[in-house]
Structure 1
């Protein structure tokens, strides 16, 4: 995930937890986590980056709305990140 910004990484995680959300649905979920508004000028270029990098696929829901779905490459990226995190995080109990 070294090639993604923190916002793109969070967006990828949100999409992976939903079944083909629209951009608006992903935005709403991410706004809850970030506790703030996300404008279209920030959201859609970052979604396009995830599509270009083939971590997410995009398809039509209707004439004005697209869905976004995580790809196998995106799932692999999340798995790799989780393995890396587990190797670097240690909590003493």
Structure 2
């Protein structure tokens, strides 16, 4: 996870929180929380990075729409990241 950008980590967290997230639903979720527009040119290449690194699996809903789910490796990476964060952030 340390070699991912903050945006890529945010994508991974959002995908983990949604059920078979489409690219559009990921985009809408992040835009709602950040208040910033996310272009397709930024979104889809970064989703592809997560897929290529094996953190996310990509499937097809229909001919125009893909879905994204966190892979087992992605779940493990998220768990390790949370453990690492918990070492430093304690309330």
TM over 0.5: yes
> SS at 2:59's partner residue?
strand
Partner of 2:17: 17
TM-score computed with the length of structure 2 as normaliser: 0.97
Structure number with greater Rg is 1
Deviation at 1:90, TM superposition (A): 3.2
Taking only aligned residues, the RMSD between alpha carbons, in angstroms, comes to: 0.7
**Separation of aligned partners in 1, 2:3 and 2:87:** 20
Unaligned runs of 5+ in 2: none
Structure 1 residues not aligned, in runs of 5+: none
Superposed CA deviations along residues 21-71 of structure 1, whole A, max 9, x for unmatched, are: 110001100111111110000000000000000000001100011000000
Structure 1 segments (4+ residues) deviating >6 Å: none
- Structure 2 CA distance, aligned partners of 1:78 and 1:6? 13
